[in-house]
Structure 1
Amino acid sequence: MATEAIRAVEGEGNERRFIISFSSEEPYNRWFGPEILDHKAGAVDLERLNSIGVLLFNHDTDKVMGKVIRAWLENSRGQAEVEFDTDADAETIFQKVKSGTLKGVSVRYAVSIWEEVMAGEKSSDGRFSGPCSIATSWTPLEVSIVSVPADATVGVGRDMGEDEATPAPSNSGRLTLRAAQRQLQINKNYL
């Protein structure tokens, strides 16, 4: 995990604020293969985080811990300044982050455009080698402090929901509903 994944904001009045790294271009192995969140200019829509962004605990929408003050991209990473609320639930998580017990950060996101790169091929901009699926247009929906990040190597986790737990297509050749939906999106992107 990167040592800069969560760091306190200095200065009076900032006691409950932290700078977090919530995303990177580090490939993450999904059931369908490596996934990469592109961070080049124009790939990430931060409008939602900057206007109504929240800080959750373990992606639970009923466990709002605070708010996103601002979000930006830096060194091919998503960064955010977050502030913890003062209610009892938020205080518990705030103290665990402050003490260093909780260090994991994750992001929930929606992808608008995928680029599929076949084995032995390069992405259209030449930055990534296949096989991989690259989210070339995506929107962070929320950031979370998490107890078990999916990708602990960079201090950034990616939400491991039901879709990721779904096994790859069976030997019968039938695709899962999620795989079929992804393929339809890929087909639309190539039209």
Structure 2
Amino acid sequence: MEKTVCLTRTGRENKAFRDLSHSIRAMEGEGNERKFIISFSSELPYDRWWGSEILDHSEGCVDLTRLNEIGCVLFNHHRDNVIGKINHAWIEDGRGEAEIEFDTDAESEKIFQKVSSGTLKGVSVGYVVDSWEEIMANKTSADGRFKGPASVAKKWTPFEVSIVSVPADPTVGVGREEGSTGRSFTDYERQLIVNKNLIGGN
């Protein structure tokens, strides 16, 4: 089951984060001892405070260039705590998938052992959305795949994946952190207009 959390701001960049639980699978075979296949994103809607958010995984929506060229695995989204690399990232059946490989330094080894033993099971992806499609209530997206009201991320870029110690609340599937929503002021203004239209305001 997908667990999603926190839309926050890191530094000056607006970034969002989503978590998945039980999404780590060890690879088998000689030479793969430190490699895992992870699921880091899906199209499951998530209710943000402004409404439902969906990450579109259709062809052309997700830019995996950064993950495939310089992708790192972090611990708890800390940029100074790199514990591995992303060997390959791809989209499969509406989900973001990646093969990761843990480093061998002391800090990475500690996290690797906790993942191997099943103590750490959470995966989180950090991403930036460049283009949204706003879907009104009782309407569908332009491609007919999603129902409104919802905000669909049509162009978005994952920039890192993390092993996380505290994924989303397992009892309700939702967790949040304090911080910015990752949307611009223009987005806020647009959402206010959408809200007024939904409730028949002036």
Tell me the equivalent position of 2:79: 61
Tell me the equivalent position of 1:14: 32
Q: Which of 133, 136, 160 is matched with 1:142 structurally?
A: 160
Task: Note the C-alpha offset of 1:148.
Answer: 2.2
SS in 2 for 1:81: strand
What is the TM-score when the length of structure 1 is the normalising length? 0.81
Give me the whole-angstrom Cα distance separating, in 1, the residues matched to 2:66 and 2:189: 26
Using the aligned pairs only, state the percent identity: 62
Q: Which has the higher strand share?
A: 2
Conserved? CA contact 2:139–2:149, under 8 Å:
yes
Q: Which of 65, 69, 72 is matched with 2:90 structurally?
A: 72
Q: Which structure has more RCO (C-alpha within 8 Å, separation ≥ 6)?
A: 2
Q: Which of 184, 187, 198 is matched with 1:182 structurally?
A: 187
Residues 31-68 of structure 1: per-residue CA shift (max 9 Å, x gap): 21111100001100111100000001111111111000
Structure 1 residues 68 and 26, CA gap change in structure 2 (3 angstroms)? same
Task: Note the C-alpha offset of 1:8.
Answer: 0.7
Whether 1:29 aligns to 2:34 is: no
SS in 2 for 1:138: strand
SS in 1 for 2:180: helix
Conserved? CA contact 2:43–2:57, under 8 Å:
yes
The aligned amino acid for 2:180 is D
Give me the whole-angstrom Cα distance separating, in 2, the residues matched to 1:151 and 1:111: 24
Q: Where does structure 1 lack aligned partners over 5 or more consecutive residues?
A: 167-177, 187-191
Give me the whole-angstrom Cα distance separating, in 2, the residues matched to 1:16 and 1:102: 15
Give me the whole-angstrom Cα distance separating, in 1, the residues matched to 2:170 and 2:98: 18
Whether 1:162 aligns to 2:179 is: yes
Give me the whole-angstrom Cα distance separating, in 2, the residues matched to 1:185 and 1:9: 45
Q: Which of 57, 78, 93 is matched with 2:111 structurally?
A: 93
Q: Which of 46, 59, 63 is matched with 1:45 structurally?
A: 63
Give me the whole-angstrom Cα distance separating, in 2, the residues matched to 1:65 and 1:54: 8
Tell me the equivalent position of 1:132: 150
Give me the whole-angstrom Cα distance separating, in 1, the residues matched to 2:33 and 2:152: 37
Give me the whole-angstrom Cα distance separating, in 1, the residues matched to 2:72 and 2:175: 16
Tell me the equivalent position of 2:141: 123
Residues 90-140 of structure 1: per-residue CA shift (max 9 Å, x gap): 111111110111111110001111011111111111111111111011111
Tell me the equivalent position of 2:8: none
